[in-house]
């Protein structure tokens, strides 16, 4: 990249010619305030907080969208700039529901932070206020437009990155608001519940549906046996809520904290991930051997499943019939485990801790249960679990390090890596290779499918078969990949798709990091590193070597994809029409 | 009933042709919306859905544009469009009283239709006939130098 010479606040510097003024200033250590800006996702100059003076331009300019050029002379701090930024912020605040004390984003709000930073101590404008109804119809996402500052980050995420596009700016002027068409609820539109909008919201306008009260109630009910399971991606992110650096694995602290909360058993969803590999791996081999529908596409991500049902109904038969690991685990807990432990499944409550908001909707699907008993009763996000831990006064940093409970807490590294994009593919390859060839896989690290690229491809020689595989994360990338498959441009045997960019580590239920952190650190990469190092630490790294899973088949399930499996662990999908006319 | 159904299908076909014309044109949405409103008289969900699917953009985006511009409406319009000018000249000559009289007789607010879909009441900016202030237009007819008592007589003319 060629460089250009610019001057910022009288200091000369050289920066790459594709930088914005904001990026250049950041590199020099000048912290220009921003609200709508989110690197790589929303760079639209809408909020006018990042105003600067540019000698070569008239008036104040939004630095996030002003490209640098040779000789540019920039001032970032003057009376005029400070006044303009403050006035803009005061106007935003004048029509904002300022109930910070009871807000979900109290202490993690970018508007709150910037108000403090710009030294706002009184509000001069007390004008008219808009008033909107709370949208809490969706099982996963709650929208409160009274908190919305119209930054449009959620729109960029939903429309441009995820290509879901169920929200947009509507009306104009004072009545501008972000909503779904015809004021429909997020629960009535083709929203896939991925929750990426929540993760990019700078304020409390978007949040998950809070299920913590239900879980406290279950824990308090002494007649209930309350079992908790934790997804792989939760352990590498929950630490962020308690001051650990991004990308710190906190499995043992998390297990300790879950016991202190009062759960009767603490199990690992990774065990069910191993089970998923046994089922899905077998399904893949059967489809290849028997001329079944290919490519086989993974079904672990409920956001992706909903996306596929709405956008690629012709591919529903390509989806693996396997339930997602959380649902498989719920089904096993309420059958096999209940029987073993001598508990009536009706007296059991299964709680999942997930990095995901879509899982909240998934567990409510009527297929996800047997004889009227739901596989999973409640899903909490990583954030909700952190809230419960804080509410209970548990010192997460110093809580005793503990292990998952037997007999369902035993999992392989293959189960752990489910949390990162490419992980399911890698886990499947580790198992399928050894089942087909009978040989041990030399290098268990299938690096071709690792990394945060949106679409990855790999060819793996397994005996006589050259397995063609592809991995996509983020539904925008999934759409691209599926269109290539649809047109015949690409052919694969096996495709892994995760709805969230980077996979579950970057799920819609994970700790929220502000724009300032996201500009510097790639959350997907850092959290994934922790996932892979967790895998490396384990001696058991292949799903088919998991003794717990082997025992499950020997004592209860019979064989992978057998009759019992189909009853408990597999499901079906339904094409969905977008905006059906009543 | 049958006739209406046929007519509706014709409109849908007509809109499909418009969409086809614009499918590869950049910035197609607004001209397509204009033509759709010409065809249907308004832009209900079914029409917006047809446009979104046809142009391969989200319904949310279409709806966003429709609600941004006052030229578009998502509600059916009445047979007669009453426009009461609230431009400066008409305003100082008492246009507000005339508007209130229309509201009172028709029992609607600005932007709404009468129950029988006969009249839509709108307020508009200067129609360029300030010499006739205050001015009201009903479809193509122009009425000038009005007082509130004239309103009843104007409406009478469109009884049938």
Bridge-based pairing of strands B119-124 and B136-138 is: unpaired
- Cross-chain CB nearest to A170 (options B45, B58, B63): B63
B34 alpha carbon, distance to own chain's centre: 11
B74 in reach of chain A (CB within 8 A): yes
Residues A472 and A549 in one domain: yes
Determine contact, residues A398/A242, Cβ cutoff 8 Å. no
Structure confidence at residue A408 (pLDDT): 80
CATH of the domain at A143: 3.30.70.20
pLDDT tens readout for residues A82-104:
999 999 999 999 999 999 999 99
Residues A414 and A557 in one domain: yes
Could you confirm whether A110 is annotated as catalytic?
Answer: no
Nearest residue of A to residue B63, measured between CA atoms: A181
* Complete DSSP assignment for A7-45: EETTEEEEEETT-BHHHHHHHTT-----SS-BTTTB---
Interface touch B46/A581, C-beta < 8 Å: yes
Interface touch A181/B68, C-beta < 8 Å: no
Interface touch A166/B60, C-beta < 8 Å: yes
Backbone torsions φ then ψ of A27, nearest 5 degrees:
-65, -30
Q: How far apart are CA A232 and CA A416, in angstroms?
A: 5
CATH of the domain at A39: 3.10.20.740
Nearest CA among A415, A520, A569 for reference residue A27: A520
Q: Supply A92's token pair.
A: 């935003």
B64 in reach of chain A (CB within 8 A): yes
Helix, strand or coil for residue A372?
coil
Angle at A374 between CA A370 and CA A378, to 5 degrees: 165
Nearest CA among A402, A502, A509 for reference residue A452: A502
Q: What is the mean pLDDT of residues A30-37?
A: 96
| ipTM of the prediction | 0.92
pTM of the model: 0.92
A432: pLDDT strictly greater than 80: yes
Q: How far apart are CA A553 and CA A550, in angstroms?
A: 5
Q: Which of B12, B49, B67 has the most A C-beta neighbours within 10 Å, making it the best mutation to test the interface with A?
A: B67
Residues A201 and A112 in one domain: yes
Residue A319: strand pairing partners: A297
Angle, nearest 10°, between helix axes B29-40 and B2-22? 160
A410 falls in which pLDDT band (50, 70, 90)?
A: confident
Query: Would you give the end-to-end CA distance of chain A in angstroms?
Result: 55
Nearest CA among A177, A178, A578, A581 for reference residue B44: A581
Determine contact, residues A352/A271, Cβ cutoff 8 Å. no
DSSP-assigned letter for residue A333: I
Structure confidence at residue B2 (pLDDT): 43
Q: How far apart are CA A479 and CA A493, in angstroms?
A: 17
Query: Where is the domain boundary, A75, A92, A109?
Result: A92
A516 alpha carbon, distance to own chain's centre: 19
Nearest CA among A283, A353, A347 for reference residue A318: A283
Determine contact, residues A296/A284, Cβ cutoff 8 Å. yes
* Complete DSSP assignment for A550-567: HHHIIIII-STTSHHHHH
Catalytic, out of A90, A188, A367, A545: A367
Measure in Å the smallest separation between the Cα of A307 and chain B Cα atoms: 14
Which residues of chain A approach chain B closer than 8 Å at the C-beta? 159, 165-172, 180-182, 189, 578-579, 581
Determine contact, residues A322/A328, Cβ cutoff 8 Å. yes
Q: How far apart are CA A227 and CA A349, in angstroms?
A: 6
Q: Which of A166, A182, A189, A307 has the most B C-beta neighbours within 10 Å, making it the best mutation to test the interface with B?
A: A182
Question: What element of type H or E holds A339?
Answer: helix A338-341
Interface touch A181/B46, C-beta < 8 Å: no
Residues A115 and A20 in one domain: no
Measure in Å the smallest separation between the Cα of A38 and chain B Cα atoms: 21
Residues A226 and A368 in one domain: yes
Determine contact, residues B142/B128, Cβ cutoff 8 Å. no
Q: Supply A423's token pair.
A: 């992980």
Q: Which regions of A335-464 does DSSP assign to beta strands (E)?
A: 348-354, 369-370, 373-374, 378-381, 455-462
Q: How far apart are CA A437 and CA A544, in angstroms?
A: 14
Residue A374 lies in a domain: yes
pLDDT tens readout for residues A160-189:
999 999 999 999 999 999 999 999 999 999
Interface touch A168/B63, C-beta < 8 Å: yes
Residues A115 and A191 in one domain: yes
Query: Where is the domain boundary, A208, A227, A258?
Result: A208
pLDDT tens readout for residues A492-511:
999 999 999 999 999 999 99
Measure in Å the smallest separation between the Cα of A191 and chain B Cα atoms: 11
Nearest residue of B to residue A177, measured between CA atoms: B64
Backbone torsions φ then ψ of A404, nearest 5 degrees:
-60, 160
Nearest residue of B to residue A191, measured between CA atoms: B60
Q: How far apart are CA A404 and CA A397, in angstroms?
A: 18
Residue A581 lies in a domain: no
Which domain covers residue A116, as residue numbers?
95-208
pLDDT tens readout for residues A373-400:
999 999 999 999 999 999 999 999 999 9
Measure in Å the smallest separation between the Cα of A571 and chain B Cα atoms: 30
Residues A165 and A268 in one domain: no
Catalytic, out of A279, A362, A384, A534: A362
Cβ neighbour number for residue A414 with a 10 Å cutoff = 30
Residues A384 and A325 in one domain: yes
Residues of chain B with Cβ-Cβ distance to A168 below 8 Å are 58, 60-61, 63-64
DSSP-assigned letter for residue A419: G
B59 in reach of chain A (CB within 8 A): yes
Backbone torsions φ then ψ of A86, nearest 5 degrees:
-65, -45
Determine contact, residues A269/A326, Cβ cutoff 8 Å. yes
DSSP-assigned letter for residue B13: H
Could you confirm whether A559 is annotated as catalytic?
Answer: no
A61: pLDDT strictly greater than 50: yes
Residue A47 lies in a domain: yes
* Complete DSSP assignment for A434-488: HHHH-SPPS----GGG-SS-SEEEEEEEETTEEEEEEEEESHHHHHHHHHHHHTT
Residue A67: strand pairing partners: A20
Residue A575 lies in a domain: no
Structure confidence at residue B155 (pLDDT): 95
**Bond from prior residue into A117 cis (ω within 30 degrees of 0):** no
Total domains, chain A = 3
* Complete DSSP assignment for B110-136: TT-B-TTS-EEEEEES--S-GGG-S-E
Backbone torsions φ then ψ of A552, nearest 5 degrees:
-60, -45
Interface touch A171/B61, C-beta < 8 Å: no
Q: How far apart are CA B130 and CA A153, in angstroms?
A: 46
Could you confirm whether A384 is annotated as catalytic?
Answer: no
Residues A105 and A76 in one domain: no
Q: How far apart are CA B10 and CA B14, in angstroms?
A: 6
Question: What element of type H or E holds A430?
Answer: helix A423-437
Nearest 10 degrees: CA dihedral of B9, B14, B19, B20? 110
A270: pLDDT strictly greater than 80: yes
Residues A391 and A530 in one domain: yes
Residue A574 lies in a domain: no
A209 alpha carbon, distance to own chain's centre: 15
Q: How far apart are CA A460 and CA A448, in angstroms?
A: 10
Structure confidence at residue A366 (pLDDT): 92
CATH of the domain at A323: 3.40.50.1780
Structure confidence at residue B1 (pLDDT): 39
A154: pLDDT strictly greater than 50: yes
Determine contact, residues A274/A546, Cβ cutoff 8 Å. yes
Q: How far apart are CA A94 and CA A79, in angstroms?
A: 22
Residues A160 and A286 in one domain: no
Q: How far apart are CA A267 and CA A289, in angstroms?
A: 35
- Cross-chain CB nearest to A168 (options B46, B58, B74): B58
What percentage of chain A has pLDDT greater than the value 70? 100
Q: What is the mean pLDDT of residues A522-537?
A: 96
Query: Where is the domain boundary, A39, A60, A92?
Result: A92
The total number of residues written for chain B in this structure? 160
b (16+ CB within 10 A) / e for A32-41: bbbbbbbbeb
Encode chain B (160 residues) as per-residue pLDDT tens digits: 344 455 889 999 999 999 999 998 999 999 999 999 999 989 999 999 999 999 999 999 999 999 999 889 998 888 899 999 999 999 999 999 999 999 999 999 998 889 888 999 999 989 899 999 999 999 889 999 999 999 999 999 998 7
Q: Rounded to whole angstroms, what are the CA distances from A237 to A234, A254, A474?
A: 5, 10, 19
Structure confidence at residue B6 (pLDDT): 59
Nearest CA among A435, A163, A159, A444 for reference residue A311: A163
Q: Supply A360's token pair.
A: 């909240």
Residues A391 and A519 in one domain: yes
Give the residue carrying structure tokens 């409103």. Answer: B37
């Amino acid at each position: 990249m060629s460089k250009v010479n610019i001057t910022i606040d009288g200091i000369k510097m050289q920066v790459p010619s594709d930088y914005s003024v904001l990026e250049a200033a950041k590199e020099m250590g000048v912290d220009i305030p921003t609200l709508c800006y989110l690197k790589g996702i929303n760079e639209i100059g809408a909020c006018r907080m990042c105003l600067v003076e540019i000698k070569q331009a008239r008036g104040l300019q939004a630095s996030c969208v002003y490209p640098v050029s040779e000789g540019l002379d920039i001032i970032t701090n003057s009376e005029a700039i400070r006044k303009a930024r403050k006035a803009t912020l005061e106007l935003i605040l004048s029509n904002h529901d300022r109930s910070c004390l009871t807000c979900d984003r109290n202490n993690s709000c970018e508007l709150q932070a910037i108000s403090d930073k710009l030294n706002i101590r009184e509000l001069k404008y007390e004008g008219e206020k808009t008033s909107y109804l709370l949208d809490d119809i969706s099982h996963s996402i709650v929208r409160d437009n009274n908190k919305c500052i119209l930054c449009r980050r959620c729109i960029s995420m939903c429309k441009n990155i995820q290509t879901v596009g169920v929200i947009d700016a509507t009306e104009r002027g004072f009545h501008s608001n972000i909503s779904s068409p015809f004021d429909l609820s997020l629960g009535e539109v083709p929203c896939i519940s991925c929750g990426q909008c929540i993760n990019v919201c700078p304020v409390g306008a978007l949040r998950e549906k809070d299920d913590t009260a239900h879980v406290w109630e279950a824990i308090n009910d002494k007649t209930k046996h309350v079992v908790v399971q934790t997804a792989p991606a939760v352990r590498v992110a929950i630490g962020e809520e308690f001051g650990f650096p991004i990308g710190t694995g906190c499995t043992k602290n998390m297990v300790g904290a879950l016991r202190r909360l009062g759960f009767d058993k603490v199990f690992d969803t990774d065990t069910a991930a191993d089970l998923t590999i046994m089922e899905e791996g077998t399904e893949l081999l059967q489809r290849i051997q028997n001329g079944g529908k290919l490519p086989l596409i993974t079904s672990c991500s409920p956001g992706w499943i909903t996306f596929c049902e709405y956008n690629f109904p012709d591919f529903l038969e390509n989806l693996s019939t396997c339930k997602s690991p959380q649902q498989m685990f719920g089904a096993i807990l309420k059958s096999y485990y209940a029987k073993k432990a001598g508990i009536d499944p009706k007296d059991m409550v299964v709680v999942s801790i997930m990095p995901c908001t879509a899982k909240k909707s998934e567990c409510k699907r009527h297929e996800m249960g047997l004889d009227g008993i739901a596989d999973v009763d409640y899903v909490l996000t990583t954030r909700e679990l952190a809230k419960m831990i804080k509410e209970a006064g548990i010192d997460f940093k110093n809580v005793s390090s503990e292990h998952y409970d037997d007999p369902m807490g035993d999992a392989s590294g293959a189960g752990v890596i489910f949390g990162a994009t490419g992980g399911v593919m890698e886990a499947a390859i580790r198992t399928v290779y050894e089942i087909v060839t009978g040989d041990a896989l030399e290098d268990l690290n299938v690096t071709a499918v690792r990394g945060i690229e949106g679409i990855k491809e790999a060819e793996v020689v397994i005996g006589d078969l050259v397995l063609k595989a592809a991995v996509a994360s983020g539904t925008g990338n999934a759409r691209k990949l599926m269109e290539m498959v649809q047109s015949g441009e690409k052919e694969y045997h096996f495709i892994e798709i995760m709805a969230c960019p980077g996979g579950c580590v970057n799920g819609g239920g994970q700790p929220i990091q502000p724009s300032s952190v996201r500009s510097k650190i790639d959350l997907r990469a850092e959290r994934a590193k922790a996932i892979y190092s967790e895998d490396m630490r384990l001696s058991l790294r292949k799903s088919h070597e998991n003794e717990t899973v082997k025992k499950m088949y020997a004592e209860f399930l019979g064989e992978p994809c057998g009759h019992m499996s189909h009853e408990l662990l597999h499901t079906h999908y339904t094409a969905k029409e977008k905006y059906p006319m009543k | 009933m049958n006739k209406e159904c046929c007519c509706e299908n014709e409109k849908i076909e007509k809109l499909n042709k418009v969409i086809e014309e614009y499918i590869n044109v950049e910035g197609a949405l607004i001209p397509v919306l204009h033509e759709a409103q010409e065809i249907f008289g308004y832009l209900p969900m079914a029409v917006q859905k047809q446009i979104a699917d046809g142009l391969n953009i989200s319904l949310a985006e279409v709806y966003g544009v429709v609600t941004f511009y006052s030229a578009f409406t998502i509600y059916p319009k009445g047979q007669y469009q009453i426009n009461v000018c609230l431009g400066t000249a008409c305003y100082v000559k008492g246009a507000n009283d005339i508007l209130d009289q229309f509201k009172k007789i028709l029992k609607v607010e600005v932007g709404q239709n009468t129950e029988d879909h006969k009249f839509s009441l709108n307020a508009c900016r200067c129609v360029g006939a300030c010499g006739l202030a205050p001015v009201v237009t009903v479809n193509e007819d122009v009425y000038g130098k009005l007082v509130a008592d004239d309103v009843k007589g104007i409406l009478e003319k469109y009884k049938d």
